[in-house]
Amino acid sequence: MKHALALAACLLALAGTAQAQSRARSPITAALNLGTPGAGVEAQLSLGPVFVLRAGIDTLGYDIDQTFDDVDYAGRFDFDTVSAFVDVHPFQNAFLISGGVYVGDRTIGLSAQPSTPVEIGGQIVTPGQVGTLSGAIKLSDIAPFVGIGFDDAFYRDSRWGFRAIAGVAWSEAPDVALTSTGGSLSNDPAFRARLEQEARDISEDAKDKGVFPIVQLGATVRF
């Protein structure tokens, strides 16, 4: 009886060890991230000691104040993206080089109600003539990404890990749309043409918005 109990205990211990080793070798993790792309979730698949595939979803929204051509706009970032990456761990440790892409809607809303005369498309106009300006800076839906980082999800015994990524995503020059409502010139064709010129000027000034720094921290858990 004692031998049977000892054998059963050994078998249970071996089963527990095998389960722990299986869990330690799991090729899949999940992550919660927070950073400049917003808050998001991510899944990772290890293809071996060097390559890891990642896919995620991020959402970002916050208010900003922005000035273009001396017009003060209240703006809002609204970024909703999905992403996919290939991480290369060249030294087979937590250090990584990453390349991938963000895909989705990335828009900066604009709104302004001038209280003093402003220049629109090369013409000085009064607040009563302008009314309320509304518009949007639309970045391209596809933004390639490169970066470096640290992710020990597959390089430690614990189920829990830590990751940090820094890099840059970029897109083409943004498209800008601008309209006027409630002003005496809002429906004037000549003024609308000046708004289109103003939108082109804003697009030129907003080129730097096409380059988006990525700084991201996250916690990972292995299944």
71-88 vs 51-68, strand pairing mode: antiparallel
Of residues 70 and 56, the one with the higher pLDDT is: 56
The CATH number of whichever domain residue 129 belongs to comes to 2.40.160.170
Overall average pLDDT of the 12-34 stretch: 64
Of residues 147 and 75, the one with the higher pLDDT is: 147
2 part of a folded domain? no
9 part of a folded domain? no
14 part of a folded domain? no
Quote the pLDDT of residue 66: 87
Overall average pLDDT of the 113-127 stretch: 93
Helix (H, G, I), strand (E, B) or coil at 42: strand
21 part of a folded domain? no
- Please write the tens of the pLDDT for every residue from 202-222: 888 887 777 899 999 999 999
pTM for the model: 0.80
d(Cα 184, Cα 28) in Å, to the nearest integer?
A: 61
Overall average pLDDT of the 108-130 stretch: 93
d(Cα 7, Cα 4) in Å, to the nearest integer?
A: 5
Residue 109 makes CB contacts below 8 A (sequence gap 6+) with: 75, 76, 78, 135, 136
95 part of a folded domain? yes
| Number of structural domains in the chain | 1
How much of the chain, in percent, has pLDDT values that exceed 70? 89
Would you say residue 174 has pLDDT above 90?
no
Question: The domain containing residue 218 runs over which residues?
Answer: 27-222
18 part of a folded domain? no
56 part of a folded domain? yes
Helix (H, G, I), strand (E, B) or coil at 72: strand
6 part of a folded domain? no
Beta bridge partners, 52, equal: 46, 87
E-strand ranges in 152-185 read: 160-170, 175-181
